[in-house]
Amino acid sequence: MEIAATVPLAGREDLSLAYTPGVARVCQAIADDPALLDRYTWVPNTVAVVTDGSAVLGLGNIGPRGAMPVMEGKAVLFKAFGGVDGVPVTLDTQDTDEIIETVVRIAPGFGGINLEDISAPRCFLIEDALKQRLDIPVFHDDQHGTAVVVLAALTNALALTDRLFETTRVVVSGAGAAGVACARILLAAGVRDIAVVDSKGVLHPSREDLNPVKAALAEQTTAETGRTGALADVLAGADVLVGVSGGTIGEELVATMAPEAIIFGLANPTPEVMPDVAHRHARVVATGRSDFPNQINNVLAFPGIFRGALDARASAITEGMKLAAAEALAALVGDERADDVVIPDPFDPRVGPAVARAVAEAARRDGVARA
């Protein structure tokens, strides 16, 4: 990574404009009219990529220094796929309140906040608090980036297998950040029969060991079905399995799913169900890996989502904007849709612009756009 100027700095005149005395005029203008910040600085195109290093990839709690390469990589992807300037911000604290206060204090220097690799359930509390206190987009990619791409891929998978969201049975294995977000976006897309399973079984209101986030999700997901039990109980006859747990799901359970099942085993590096096993019992199979077809890759979502939000000068990222991003991704597959092609390639040059346009339009529909 590097920072580069967008204007020349080749002589004394350039220096006098870029720094003293010329910069003082810009400072005073912005002080007099804060709206000019978006015109004269990089703020409206810059996102802070913030972590505390508590849940980095599959490595766990490796701290802010160990997390830095991932944050740098994220910033590189922001630039390459969305034209957005990402700045890694690794915080040497895992105290929820300290993280919230720190991000609030640095927010004036950024056009958006991308939260990354923060463990659950703190990630939910941090995101919710920042959304309430800031008037710029706040987005936890581990949650919503995954959810958007899952919804896009599932949209095409359901079309291939002649299913509808409203009548499809879904099981989400894993109730961490990604699992909760996937369940929520699938509910918003119209899924009515969805069971979310953690290490102790199906999330259900009768369980007394649920944190507030899981308890709220249990109410939402069991309102119509009332499903309880273990993974085996809800996987039997299910149409769709979304694995975001990191655990292994045995073939004997997968074999009980409905005909022409859909299996998304998204754990890295080892999917919950390896593709060779999944294909024996499912029609459409996706993973989080680049060496298998149908990679559920967050890079398909977050650069375009932030590009669209920044272009619209959105004050927030709404559910409508996430749904629009998923719809745009799904539509790009078009006539190429097949069992091994339910999501675009990350290097498809149409992806970023298509998602950005859809998100900006949704921001205007949802009343959060300021441009």
The residues that are catalytic are 19, 74
Q: Report the distance separating Cα 271 and Cα 248, nearest Å.
A: 7
Binding residues: 116-117, 142, 268, 297
Residue 21: cis peptide before it, omega within 30 degrees of 0:
yes
Q: Report the distance separating Cα 298 and Cα 84, nearest Å.
A: 15
Binding residues for a divalent metal cation: 116-117, 142
Q: Both tokens of residue 367?
A: 């009343």
Q: CB burial class (10 A; 0-12, 13-18, 19+) of residue 334?
A: exposed
- Whether 350 and 344 have beta carbons less than 8 Å apart is answered as yes
Strands 112-115 and 138-140: parallel
Please enumerate in sequence order all residues whose Cβ is within 8 A of that of 23, keeping only pairs 6 or more positions apart, or say none.
17
Q: Report the distance separating Cα 250 and Cα 244, nearest Å.
A: 15
Binding residues for (S)-malate: 268, 297
- DSSP H helices, 200-301, are 212-221, 231-235, 251-254, 275-278
